[in-house]
Amino acid sequence: MGKMELTEQVDMSLPMYWDRLDTPLPDRQYQDTLNAADKSLKQKEKGHWNNLPKEEKLALYPPYPHTLDDKWQAMQVKKMLDM
């Protein structure tokens, strides 16, 4: 008989996470385990956002990609029309 491989068991009692456009806010957090700094930041997030410095706001929600910038999109449209 050949070797049998064991498959990984998945805990089906927890919601599954995957990035999907039709489900932008899944039930499950992106990271399962947080270090002490991240836990502290998550606690601060529950308070008033005016109390957070800019660095912590960016750590919670990084800036959006350059492809969403209006100037970049205008350059792309111009490039497509030129082609």
pLDDT at 24: 65
- For residue 14, being part of any structural domain is answered with no
- For residue 20, being part of any structural domain is answered with no
Mean pLDDT by 10-residue block, N- to C-terminus, for the chain (83 residues)? 73 71 63 83 87 86 79 93 93
| Dist CA 74 CA 26 (whole Å) | 32
For 69, the token pair is 């910038």
Counted domains in the chain = 1
For 80, the token pair is 């497509």
pLDDT at 5: 77
For 72, other C-beta atoms within 10 Å of its C-beta total: 12
Residue 65: domain span:
36-82
Which CA distances in Å does 13 have to 9, 18, 21, 27, 48? 12, 16, 24, 12, 33
- For residue 4, being part of any structural domain is answered with no
